[in-house]
Structure 1
Amino acid sequence: MKILLYSVGKPHDSYVKQGIEEFTKRLNKYFQAEWKIIAPPKNAASLNEAELKKQEAKLILGQLNAEDFLVLLDERGKQFSSPQLANFIQQRANESTKVIVFLIGGAYGVDELVFERANFSLSLSSLVFPHMLVRLVLAEQVYRACTILRNEKYHHS
């Protein structure tokens, strides 16, 4: 199974880049994993919120294949413990999912079309975080889930 981590926005800021790269490298020991940063539309500053989300939705949906399992990160999504996230990933592998995509939407969230396309909605916390920190937390938590699946020492419950 391949794990793709998508985020709408600018490239990783330097204050999180090293951590994201480190956890992604570690994650690659378990599954092929990579980040794709989806740049917002060039005219984003001139668009209202609804139109910006529609434009971003076109960019996001254009990156997905029909068989990709899309996990949308959203504050209203289901919250998991780390072991539950591990089980969720294992279930996808057991179902022979070829690609699981974790998506961090734009600054205003995502358009309804992306919600409709999503196979699952996940919340990392009921707190709101800057997008850059969400990228780091997501990379670490997916890595942690993989260590749980292998019964390795990284996670202590």
Structure 2
Amino acid sequence: MKLHLCVVGRLRAGPERDLIDDYLTRFDRTGRGLGLGPASVHEVEDRKGGGMAAEAALLRRAIPAGAAVCALDERGRQTSSPDFAVRLGRMRDEGVSDLAFVIGGADGIEPALRDSADMALSFGAMVWPHMLARVMLSEQIYRAAAILAGTPYHRA
């Protein structure tokens, strides 16, 4: 199952990008034998200032056809890392070939796009900058693969 991080905004070189690249590289190595990966990042940018609606249109184009969609949103479901891993494994086992994680811009994800997602995930009641949300998602994706592979990375 290929994973796609479909995100608003371009991330410049720096510590956040280094962390994302590191976690997604680890995921690709760990997930390969599990039928997970690769993971890729699809960045979109609304240069005309059309707001959430314009961002949503760009995000929809970045999501692969037929992909299951997970919206990262403060109103989404909070879950533990092991439960997240089980969910990814179950989706893989059910034949989902592509899973797109959607992270909106400063104003979040357009309600229609958020409501059409197959699932919504929250990192808690706090609102996180989208750059940190990308890092946290990348780490949780790697952690899920590590849990499914039975490695000692996750110590619960």
RMSD after superposition: 1.3
Does residue 33 (structure 1) correspond to residue 33 (structure 2)? The answer is no
* Superposition TM-score, scaled by structure 1 size: 0.90
Q: Which residue of 2 aligns with 1:20?
A: 20
Partner of 1:91: 90
Q: Which runs of 4+ in 1 moved over 3 A?
A: none
Q: 1:42 aligns with which of 42, 47, 59?
A: 47
Q: What whole-Å deviation, never above 9, does each CA across 1:44-87 have from its counterpart, x for those lacking one?
A: 1xx5xxxx111111111122244100000000100010001001
Q: Which residue of 2 aligns with 1:152?
A: 151
State the TM-score, normalized to the length of structure 2.
0.91
Residue 114 of structure 1: aligned partner: 113
Gaps of 5+ in 2: 32-36
Q: Counterparts of 2:13 and 2:7 in 1: how far apart (Å)?
A: 13
| 1:136-151 alignment, distance < 5 Å | 136-151=135-150
- Code of the aligned partner of 1:15: P
Q: How many residues align?
A: 150
Fraction of identical pairs, as percent:
32
Tell me, yes or no, if the aligned pair for 2:71 and 2:121 is still in contact at 8 Å: yes
Task: Tell me, in whole angstroms, the C-alpha distance in 2 between the residues paired with 1:90 and 1:74.
Answer: 22
- Give the superposition deviation at 1:12: 4.2
1:12–1:132 Cα contact (<8 Å) kept: no
- Is the partner of 1:20 in helix, strand or coil? helix
1:129 Cα deviation from its structure 2 partner? 1.4
Which segments of 5 or more consecutive residues in structure 1 lack a partner in the other structure?
none
